[in-house]
Amino acid sequence: MRSAANLALSAITLGVLVACAGGSGGSGDEPANSPSSGGSSSASSAAGSSAGSASSSSSSDSSASASASSSASSSAASSSETVPTSLGADGWASYYASGTGTTNGGTGADSTHTYTVKSRSELIKALYTGAVIAADGSFTYTAIDATPKIIYVNGSISLNTNAAGTELTEADYACAGWSFEDYKTAYNPKTWNRTLASTGKPASPSGTLETARSCSANKQAAVVKLAVGSNTSILGLGSDAKIVHGQLSLPAGTDNVVIRNITFEDAFDFFPLWDPTDSYNVDATYTYVAPPTTADATSTYPKCQYTYDATTDNGPHQCPGGRWNSNYDLLGLSGATHVWIDHCTFTDGDRETSKYPSVWEAPYIGHEYEVEHHDGLVDITLTSSYVTVSYNRVGHHQKAHLIGSSDNVTAANGWGALSVTLHHNYYDEAGERLPRVRMGKVHVYNNYYSGTFTPALSTPPYYGLSNPKDPDRPFIYGLGIGHLSKIYSENNVFEISARVGDAAVTQDALFWVWHKANPTSGLAAGEYTYFYDSGSTLNGAATSLLTAANAKAATFGKPTLLSTDTYWKPSSVYTYTAESAASVKATVIGKAGAGKL
């Protein structure tokens, strides 16, 4: 990191020359330098080895002006672009334990490390040193580049392309023996689940079809997942910058990254895994309980029992559980620190999960059994910390933010880390994990949530329930209070409607309690789970979320939640001002998302 010499404008408006396709000079496979040379490159070669001839300009992100020169052909046209800067991080992203330091991404990058990219190949060569892209789109590299760099994204970039820029399909990645239809048949829970493993749950998929699925998935991952190194700014030009059909990963050791003004869309997994063990449970408290020895005809699942009976067709294959799990987040932080994600949009695009309904029969039907081709939108896990997610539009997706991925309390899983701020985000028909927190100190304030509550999904056991009134994008819960989390919530605004004919939504819909017994040994011995909320509203009415959360915890036999303000307060770490809930909706709708700097 470099200390900030300029805490200047959040955005500057420059005249940028945008070249049309077919311009002279340059292979286009090397990223052009500076936003002013945004369109001067022609189509790339498959090997991606030629150097581009686009001109460069000196760029030091803290400047208030920049050159608008370009070596493009006469087909270039001038337009005004909003060029975001890397300055202005707040919340946990602004915190340094030493008291010095600034999260400013690639601020100060020299002209050699200031890029404008319009393709996956150009983006790869900006992110990595020594990158060589094979014809099928896979690539090798020497290192993830940690040199201070600014990468301007011009237009839409698909990460799911080969070296020639051709969009890839399931067939392009499929290994020998792969067939989704055969996979469904082989692992259909009505047959696969008839015998349970020693764990009291079905066995995980195995055999030639699972091997073929895994092989195919690995081939896709080698193309669509790109890593971001330290001291990097990725900034969208104008209002139409997009990164689609893949994941940007910020791995352990990555520090000081700024991502702003980009729409991230549809990280589509062609090869999701059916996991019959995921959520396989007959207990409403989420404490695992094996199926009963004998089926109870009066229960929700009247044919569910531990051992398969061919005569009655009772057995473990009639018990609820199992999920499709996919491999890609739009942004995945797995140990990164000092990250600012601001004014972006995150969505599933045209391939929303509701378009991929369950392929099974009851009780394996309903939203929870849809074939999930997407994972999270922005997930923050392992030792990630000092992250701020601000002024983003997040929606049309089920699972938004996972903060902490394991209840196993270790330093590697995030104990002592996972400090995150989320503010002024617009959660538009997002289903759950808004966020869902384990262990971390997470400040959630001035966010706006809209959606339609689906109580059949929010009142366990909800497996296998299907209701024609259910919306395509059900709101399941908002704040996920996970094991040893320390959520500090302020002045959030929830506008959550009921389905037609349902009772009015209550504040119980705004959270879920996932925490466990307070640990008595190990790193977290004597620790508790905390929650605090002040000033949040539901459909214009005041809430008492801590009281309601403790009532729900008591119902499920979980420990009492202590108030987070007795453990930590954001104001003791950084300066901020929470605006009144009365103005949050207007502020967030007006300012959140890409193109609204």
In whole angstroms, give the CA distance from residue 41 to residue 73.
10
In whole angstroms, give the CA distance from residue 56 to residue 71.
9
- E strand or H helix at 338: strand 337-342
- Neighbouring CB atoms inside 10 A of 319's CB total 30
- Round the CA-based radius of gyration of the chain to a whole number and report it: 25
Cα→Cα distances 201→319, 361, 365, Å:
10, 19, 19
386 phi and psi, to 5 degrees? 60, 60
The answer to whether 276 touches 205, Cβ cutoff 8 Å, is yes
The answer to whether 497 touches 505, Cβ cutoff 8 Å, is yes
In whole angstroms, give the CA distance from residue 592 to residue 423.
10
Tell me the helices (H) and strands (E) count for the chain, helix number first: 8, 39
Which residue out of 213, 260, 323, 433 is catalytically annotated? 433
Please enumerate in sequence order all residues whose Cβ is within 8 A of that of 318, keeping only pairs 6 or more positions apart, or say none: 295, 301, 303, 304, 305, 363
∠ Cα 74 78 81 (to 5°): 145
Reference 280, options 327, 319, 313; nearest CA is 319
Reference 383, options 499, 211, 250, 213; nearest CA is 250
The answer to whether 349 touches 158, Cβ cutoff 8 Å, is no
In whole angstroms, give the CA distance from residue 78 to residue 74.
11
570, 573, 579, 581 alpha-carbon torsion, rounded to 10° = -10
Residue 275, helix vs strand vs coil: strand
Q: Is 499 a catalytic residue?
A: no
The answer to whether 567 touches 553, Cβ cutoff 8 Å, is no
Active site residues: 433
